[in-house]
Structure 1
């Protein structure tokens, strides 16, 4: 990425963004990690041209909503993480290692049937949601630039898994994540409950996400349009083993 002709001692793009954050807020970024800051540049750049003001706005919106939902804290990547252990027992959202399409877009795999509200609180589920994305952004630097492919498997989902407060927080979170939403969003194994709820939820989803949404029902073979067989979970007709799918 470039922003005009760079001199030998010119600040790097990440340093420029950090300086902009400091001048606009009076303090350093909540997490000044160059790797994490770079995500805001990657998801807002066009080809090799930077858009520093847009990256600054994206960064501001990210930490503003994050603070509202999670409180003031740094990234949720402390080891051993209680969030990682919670997700291990009730894995409603996972990013299987190495599962991506030919464009380098990573698979995000959601299984709302694991949202057991005797195990999760609204706050802990929201924190786990952010944890999965933050870990993905730090582990896979090209995610911000190339985007993701999301697959939502609604097998076994019922009213007992529904939580309007969590759904609202998750939908709001989507709009501020430093990720290009370039890949498709596929919903599979949906039932009548999904159609009833979607009528309400779609009013709050970003238009660009709705435009890429495809409700497949049981037509799992159409996942091959966006993912290779080795990146499609076995439960959906592919060869990718995802822990918890047999439950």
Structure 2
């Protein structure tokens, strides 16, 4: 197992812990600015739309400047976005800064996949990709648990902690992740294909549909709607909203 893979896994765990911490509270933070459920859910939507829109440009930038530096740039963008979200004074500020975070997110996500492919030996790419994905899953599981202990400090504090966790990930990558030359026999010599070619494959179309369904359930329902539904239940939402209104000390 190359050391660089462990660096990527450690950074992924830190990032996912922070993301798991803020994902459930972002729609509630937006709702605290006295907007409806649709506008509150748009905080999740704008992040995903920014990722989708910027993905082609991210690929071009990675091809020009390299995976490592664009990985660091993407993480830095996510950290700055989180700090700006924590300082947002209104709904539209929050919407703008969260959208910018989506640009950083897709940049480091695509870069990390490129680094995994380039740094992992060909015969172990599947296993190392699974290890990287597991780090994200563990972080997404433990992040909300950590968030319960930080909930008393308000939404802004959680966003600030997320920004700090991403900054730590940037430092880990800067210090420990090198950009080694390829080893003999590790090159992937498979021919390139065009998007129009793979779209004709039923297996690829099935992956697109299943990915869309997973994103709809994860981001559309679990992250956007479930937290808002929870706080709308009178026995749960009333004390939560009272302790985190925009004018309360814990919210500011």
TM over 0.5: no
Q: Which has the higher strand share?
A: 1
TM-score under structure 2 length normalisation: 0.26
TM-score under structure 1 length normalisation: 0.27
Name which structure has the greater RCO, CA cutoff 8 Å, separation 6+.
Answer: 2
Q: Which has the higher helix share?
A: 2
